[in-house]
Every structure is written in structure tokens, then in C-alpha cells.
């Protein structure tokens, strides 16, 4: 099983202020025993090829991706598309992209209380989503992943564990274990076919509040859903897979 993170941001992000580079993210992931990592900047797909050998030397497979805003507000994760991901502006565009390429579409933080989250568009476009995110930002009492878990179960869609990483400390709290060989296409296909298990645990209220405060202070216009940092080895599964 590969330890995988499919939702991260770095200082190359054109929207969010991220205090670490892609190489620092790779280093942190390697130190935590990750096998694969997707860098998913807002609105821009980072060319990961210049980083591939650096990551490979540290045992990390890099997955190309982007967190794209469609129809002016809704976030979707597009992974391993050969081209065209940056041009997706509507759900119709996304449907055409999927018909032309075999990339992976993930619904990130779909039922969190933020304008960028998908909510009812999930049902309208259920066939577009290959997986649903269990996001690392949750506590024992407040867990918006529960709605996502119910949706995934109802639709027979796999769930993946993601940190939605905006701070290096967020790596390790929620992640996916994927049954696949260590290459990009195999990992994406395994997720699509449900050969994935979520590992996650709730955050203490104080830590969750501190991270959210840090994010809001840095950019008060924040409209995306963010997650929270690692406190201890995961010991609780919030989300299950189909």
C-alpha cells in the first residue's frame, strides 16, 4: 500500500500565500514516509517534470494536478490530465475533458461551509467525480466529512484522504493508502476503482482554531476550505471508502 497525498499547495500557488517551496514539501513528505504526492495549485497546473528526479531520489512519485475553479466558485481537483485542465471553466468543459483524457476528478471538501465547496452540484454532476475527499480539517464534534461519506456511500464513489495542505505541519493527519504500483497512472486507476483506504483522525479544537486563524490573518479574503496540522500519529478514521 502506498501512502499518498492528493491535495497540496506550494509557494508557486497564484492565489494562496504558502510559506514553503515545492522541494520543501517533497522533503517533508519523504520524512513522513509518503510514496506519492500531488501538487494542486489553484488555477495553475505546475509542471512537475523539473522536480521529478528530486522527488524520485527521496522515494516520492509526483502527480500533476490542479485545483480548478469552475463556474466562478466551485473547486474541483483534476489530476494527471494530459492537457486542458487549466482551460476547464464549466462543468460542461469538465465533461468534455473527461471524454478526451483519462485523468482523475476529485471533489475536494464538498460539504464544508464555504462558497467554493460543491454542495448541491455534487448530485447534479455525480458522474463526473471519480473520488470524494475526506478533508483533514475536522474535530470529534464538528466533522463536515460525514456528509461526504454519506454521499460517497450512496453513489458508490471511493473516498480519498487529503490534507489540503497549506502548511507543512498538515501532512500526516489525513491521507490515503492506495493499493497500486508506484507510478502515476497506476495510482490514479487504483483510486478510480476503489483500491484506496482513508486514514484520518480528529484534531483538537485549539489546534484547528489556531490554523484557521493563521490562514485568515494571512489572507482574510479566504474562500476555500483548508485543513489542519499533524498532532500525533493517526488513530481515528472519520471517513470510509466504498
Whether residue 242 has pLDDT greater than 80? no
* Domains detected in the chain: 2-218 (3.20.20.140)
Model's pTM, two decimal places?
Answer: 0.90
Whether residue 225 has pLDDT greater than 50? no
Q: Summarize pLDDT for 179-220 with one digit per residue, the tens.
A: 999 999 999 999 999 999 999 988 888 878 877 877 786 544
Which pLDDT does position 235 carry in this prediction? 41
Q: How far is CA 236 from the centre of its chain?
A: 19
Question: What is the rounded distance in angstroms from the CA atom of residue 116 to the CA atom of residue 135?
Answer: 14
**Average pLDDT for 51-55:** 98
Lowest mean pLDDT among 42-56, 63-77, 170-184, 198-212: 198-212
Give the bridge partners for 175, in sequence order.
199
* pLDDT band (50, 70, 90) for residue 227: very low
Which pLDDT does position 218 carry in this prediction? 56
* pLDDT band (50, 70, 90) for residue 240: low
Whether residue 49 has pLDDT greater than 60? yes
Question: What is the rounded distance in angstroms from the CA atom of residue 215 to the CA atom of residue 157?
Answer: 31
Three-state DSSP class for residue 104: strand
Q: How far is CA 37 from the centre of its chain?
A: 10
Which pLDDT does position 231 carry in this prediction? 33
How many angstroms separate the most distant Cα atoms in the chain? 46
Whether residue 233 has pLDDT greater than 90? no
Which pLDDT does position 203 carry in this prediction? 85
Which pLDDT does position 207 carry in this prediction? 78
Share of the chain above pLDDT 90, in %: 80
Which pLDDT does position 214 carry in this prediction? 75
Amino acid at each position: 500500500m502506498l501512502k499518498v497525498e492528493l491535495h497540496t499547495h506550494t509557494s508557486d500557488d497564484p492565489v494562496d500565500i504558502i510559506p514553503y517551496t515545492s522541494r520543501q514539501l517533497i522533503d517533508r513528505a519523504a520524512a513522513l514516509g509518503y510514496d506519492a504526492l500531488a501538487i494542486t495549485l489553484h488555477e495553475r497546473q505546475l509542471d512537475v517534470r523539473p522536480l521529478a528526479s528530486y522527488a524520485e531520489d527521496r522515494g516520492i512519485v509526483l502527480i500533476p494536478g490542479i485545483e480548478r475553479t469552475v463556474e466562478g466558485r466551485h473547486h474541483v481537483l483534476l489530476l494527471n490530465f494530459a492537457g486542458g485542465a487549466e482551460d476547464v471553466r464549466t462543468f460542461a468543459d469538465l465533461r468534455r475533458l473527461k471524454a478526451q483524457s483519462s485523468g482523475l476528478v476529485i471533489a475536494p471538501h464538498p460539504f464544508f461551509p464555504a462558497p467554493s465547496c460543491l454542495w448541491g452540484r455534487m448530485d447534479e454532476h455525480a458522474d463526473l467525480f471519480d473520488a470524494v475527499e475526506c478533508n483533514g480539517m475536522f474535530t470529534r464534534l464538528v466533522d463536515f466529512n460525514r456528509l461526504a461519506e454519506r454521499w460517497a456511500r450512496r453513489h458508490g464513489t471511493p473516498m480519498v484522504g487529503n490534507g489540503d495542505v497549506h502548511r507543512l505541519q498538515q501532512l500526516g493527519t489525513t491521507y490515503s493508502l492506495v493499493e497500486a504500483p508506484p507510478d502515476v497512472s497506476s495510482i490514479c486507476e487504483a483510486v478510480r476503482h476503489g483500491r484506496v483506504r482513508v486514514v484520518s483522525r480528529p484534531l483538537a479544537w485549539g489546534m484547528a482554531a489556531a490554523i484557521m486563524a493563521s490562514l485568515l490573518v494571512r489572507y482574510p479574503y479566504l474562500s476555500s476550505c483548508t485543513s489542519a496540522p499533524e498532532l500525533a500519529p493517526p488513530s481515528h478514521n472519520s471517513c470510509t471508502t466504498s
